[in-house]
């Protein structure tokens, strides 16, 4: 009975631990395991291909702070520049409608058309500047125009968002802390700019109680424009480190695993197995066409009886001499016989013939370590043919 009680107690303890273990990992009813890194293993910098593919999909490093700063700053400058003309146009509109307010129907089509004309004239400078500012800001950050529908394509996977990832990024990440510091900095900058500007104008603010409406209006407008202009410049300064941070985060989001890099290499360069089969097929074709390739060779290097390799170099299509045929024993004799019939020079060099036969396949370029020995042989061959002597200079 004691053993049974002990076993029962052990099972109960295990169940209790299993039940309480998640709560030991919880903080505020949120399992801390939810905030584990999902991109674990992505340690390699993104390749140019992945960055270009992300750009084609509309994914680029972008700072919304820079967009907001330019959209605030440039329309504000436009408003300041066009303020006299806009005030004149506005006063003209008020005068026009004031003179007709008692004699005309307010819904007269002519008056409605005139109203919209004045409205467009007043809104056009600021609206057009804001539109151009937004376009220019995005073009600068994107490095040009990007046309992609993927960013606005509905994604049904987002219907059930990953709250763990959201809270992790918003509260427990470098991005969340940076955004918090950025928001606090913006608020502090606005408060400081407003306080500094208003504090210096307090005597004038008191004096406008006795001033006229027009002078008071211009004074308030001037002070407001200075506050907005200073705040826009501060936002523009804040957007510079924000853009650098967003760019760093963008590169981090594109980081790849080593397996992803291998898969991308296969896509870019082709599957090594397929490339090997293609090379093998090309060698078979070259071997089958030995009777055609050997007469085109510049020289046949022999061992002298066991090995024979045919070398060809066309400087217009090859970056270096190529091995176009090779053989051993009977096949070597066949290569030499075809070469004699085609008046192709045959040079005996036992070490070079053996090395080329063993290390170079048909259709491959000669490795760099054999250039010196090959240059000596070609020098002897081309010395017999003055027409080919100029090719030596290309080696």
Per-residue model confidence as pLDDT tens digits over 212-222: 777 888 888 88
Question: Are 198 and 205 contacting, i.e. CB atoms less than 8 angstroms apart?
Answer: yes
Give the whole-angstrom CA distance, residue 270 versus residue 276.
10
Packing angle of the helix pair 174-200, 163-171 (nearest 10 deg):
50
Range with the lowest mean pLDDT among 47-51, 223-227, 262-266, 309-313? 262-266
Report CA-CA distances (Å) from 316 to 321, 332, 361, 362, 394. 11, 28, 21, 19, 11
What is the pLDDT averaged over residues 280-291?
Answer: 67
The pLDDT of residue 309 is above 70: yes
Q: What is the mean pLDDT of the chain?
A: 76
Label the pairing between strands 346-348 and 299-302: parallel
Q: What is the pLDDT of residue 26?
A: 40
Of all residues in the chain, what percent carry a pLDDT higher than 90?
1
3-class state of residue 322 by DSSP? strand
The pLDDT of residue 234 is above 70: yes
Q: What is the pLDDT of residue 25?
A: 38
Report CA-CA distances (Å) from 5 to 19, 237, 329. 21, 72, 86
Q: Which two tokens stand for residue 68?
A: 């907001």
What is the pLDDT averaged over residues 231-242?
Answer: 87
Q: What is the pLDDT of residue 9?
A: 43
pLDDT in tens, 296-307: 888 888 887 788
What is the pLDDT averaged over residues 81-101?
Answer: 87
pLDDT in tens, 374-388: 878 877 777 766 545
Of all residues in the chain, what percent carry a pLDDT higher than 70?
74
Give the whole-angstrom CA distance, residue 256 versus residue 40.
10
Question: Are 106 and 117 contacting, i.e. CB atoms less than 8 angstroms apart?
Answer: no
Higher pLDDT, 325 or 165: 325
Residue 282's pLDDT band (boundaries 50, 70, 90)?
low
Give the whole-angstrom CA distance, residue 291 versus residue 289.
5
Packing angle of the helix pair 64-100, 213-253 (nearest 10 deg):
150
What is the pLDDT averaged over residues 161-167?
Answer: 61
pTM for this entry: 0.48
Enumerate domains of the chain plus CATH numbers: 61-147+163-260 (no CATH), 273-394 (3.40.1690.10)
Question: Are 329 and 285 contacting, i.e. CB atoms less than 8 angstroms apart?
Answer: no
């Amino acid at each position: 009975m004691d053993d049974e009680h002990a076993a029962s107690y052990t099972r109960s303890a295990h169940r209790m631990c299993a039940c309480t273990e998640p709560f030991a990992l919880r903080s505020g009813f949120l399992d801390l395991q939810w905030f584990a890194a999902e991109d674990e293993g992505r340690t390699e910098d993104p390749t140019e291909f992945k960055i270009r593919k992300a750009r084609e999909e509309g994914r680029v490093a972008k700072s919304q702070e820079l967009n907001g700063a330019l959209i605030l700053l440039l329309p504000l400058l436009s408003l300041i520049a066009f303020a006299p003309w806009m005030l004149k146009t506005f006063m003209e509109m008020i005068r026009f409608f004031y003179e007709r307010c008692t004699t005309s129907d307010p819904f007269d089509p002519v008056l409605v058309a005139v109203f919209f004309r004045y409205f467009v004239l007043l809104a056009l400078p600021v609206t057009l500047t804001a539109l151009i500012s937004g376009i220019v800001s995005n073009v600068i950050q994107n490095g040009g125009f990007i046309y992609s529908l993927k960013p606005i394509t509905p994604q049904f996977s987002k219907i059930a968002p990953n709250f763990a990832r959201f809270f992790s990024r918003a509260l427990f990440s470098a991005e969340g802390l940076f955004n918090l510091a950025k928001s606090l900095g913006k608020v502090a900058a606005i408060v400081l700019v407003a306080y500094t500007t208003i504090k210096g104008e307090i005597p004038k603010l008191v004096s406008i109680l006795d001033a006229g409406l027009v002078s008071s209006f211009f004074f308030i407008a001037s002070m407001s424009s200075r506050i907005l202009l200073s705040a826009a410049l501060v936002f523009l300064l804040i957007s510079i480190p924000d853009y650098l941070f967003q760019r760093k985060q963008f590169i981090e989001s594109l980081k790849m695993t080593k397996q992803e890099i291998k898969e991308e290499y296969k896509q870019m360069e082709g599957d090594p197995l397929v490339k090997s089969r293609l090379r093998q097929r090309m060698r078979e074709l070259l071997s089958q066409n030995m009777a055609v390739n050997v007469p085109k060779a510049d020289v046949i290097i022999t061992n002298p009886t066991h090995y024979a390799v045919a070398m060809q170099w066309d400087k217009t299509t090859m970056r270096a001499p190529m091995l176009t045929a090779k053989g051993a024993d009977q096949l070597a004799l066949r290569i030499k016989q075809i070469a004699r019939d085609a008046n192709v020079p045959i040079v005996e060099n036992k070490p070079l013939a053996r090395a080329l036969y063993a290390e170079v396949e048909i259709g491959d370029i000669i490795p760099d370590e054999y250039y010196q020995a090959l240059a000596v042989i070609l020098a002897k061959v081309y010395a017999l043919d003055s027409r080919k002597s100029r090719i030596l200079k290309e080696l």
